[in-house]
Amino acid sequence: MSVITKPEERKTAGELANEALKDTSTYHSMDVANALCNDILREIWKCIDAHYNVIDEPEFFIVVVLANDCLIKNLKRRKFYAWPYLPKPRPNQSVFLYRKKDDDIQRLWVLPEAATMANLSEMHQVPEKWATMKLWSDAFFKGTFWHTIRNQHGINHLSEHEYLKLHREELIQAGCKEPTFDIIDPFDFGKAFGMEVVNPFKAEIPKLSAQGRRKAK
């Protein structure tokens, strides 16, 4: 005999945020960082699986954005999406390159919040563990970010802006092809009818048999 177990009830974002407001405990910054990164790899692979057949390219990018909730001020949300071009950098963003041939991902960059990026860029020297993030922050403010990423990881992918600029004439010459489709006939209300109105705000539409459908035609 099979036993049906009741699915675990998950707390809403509002409930979790309310509990966090009431929590007066002190947490180490590393514990907070680990909590933010919890299950992130699993969600990245879920995003890859969802877009594997959608993006018809041998390689594409997975972008993870950490964003504030628009209603709950102490709540942050992680948003995942796939992109065929080299993504545009922004604060609180992590970007990974997925290669279908190897079925593996490569981290390209991780940017902190805007204030941290500005502080790193203004500092002349930083501890070694911050050196790479300073490199990214400097490139971000200098406007050389994509060039820096390509040199750092040995890739040659283009951003959407760069791709459109490079293939501008080609795309203009290609033009837009008009879609070919048959003109759809307007809906014939004479073919719709109700047997009985039980509720004045809701009509009961009966299911017709094959013979009834032929008569309706």
pLDDT the model gives residue 215: 44
pLDDT the model gives residue 163: 86
CB 216 within 8 A of CB 191: yes
| Residue 109: inside a domain | yes
Model's pTM, two decimal places?
0.67
| Residue 21: inside a domain | no
- Per-block average pLDDT, block size 10, for the chain (217 residues)? 54 68 72 71 93 94 87 77 95 96 95 95 93 96 95 94 85 69 59 59 51 43
| Residue 111: inside a domain | yes
CB 85 within 8 A of CB 159: yes
Tokens linked to 161:
């802006």
pLDDT the model gives residue 194: 59
Tokens linked to 81:
């999406």
How far does CA 89 lie from the centroid of its chain? 14
| Residue 1: inside a domain | no
* Domain count of the fold of the chain: 1
pLDDT the model gives residue 28: 74
Give the span between the Cα atoms of 77 and 70, in whole angstroms: 10
Range of the domain at 65: 35-160
SS (H, E, C) the chain: CCCCCCCCCCCCHHHHHHHHHHCCCCCCHHHHHHHHHCCHHHHHHHHHHHHCCCCCCCEEEEEEEEEECCCCCCCEEEEEEEECCECCCCCCEEEEEEECCCCEEEEEEEECCHHHHHHHHHCCCCCHHHHHHHHHHHHHHHCCHHHHHHHHHCCCCCEHHHHHHHCHHHHHHHCCCCCCCCCCCCCCHHHCCCCEEEECCEEECCCCCHHHHHHHC
| Residue 129: inside a domain | yes
| Residue 175: inside a domain | no
CB 36 within 8 A of CB 66: yes
pLDDT the model gives residue 217: 43
Strands 76-83 and 93-99, by their bridges, are unpaired
List the beta bridge partners of residue 68: 76
